[in-house]
Amino acid sequence: MALAAISVLGIDLGKNVCSIVGLNTSGAVVMRRKVRRETLIALAEKLPPCIVGMEGQRASPSGETRARRCRAARNP
């Protein structure tokens, strides 16, 4: 799996584990993973600029905090 191939990243924010899926420019799934919430930001830092969609972002204050940290990590 090449992280450079990801153009869209979908994230389902869970309480302890987040499900993520990466799509290439043609919409094919190139990555599907479950990551612990502590490692989500580290993974986002490794990705090229892409569109990120988060489900559950507003469900809790911690979801909003993770969204803000992802944006900051991807746009230094």
Give all domains of the chain, ordered by start, each with its CATH number. 3-74 (3.30.420)
How would you classify the pairing of strands 8-12 and 17-23?
antiparallel
What pLDDT, on the 0 to 100 scale, is given for residue 58?
56
DSSP H or E run through 36: strand 29-36
**Closest listed residue to residue 37, CA positions, set 22, 59, 58, 20:** 20
DSSP H or E run through 62: helix 61-74
pLDDT tens-digit profile, the chain (76 residues): 567 789 999 988 888 898 999 999 999 999 999 999 889 888 888 888 888 888 765 555 666 676 677 777 665 4
Answer yes or no: are the C-beta atoms of 43 and 6 closer than 8 Å. no
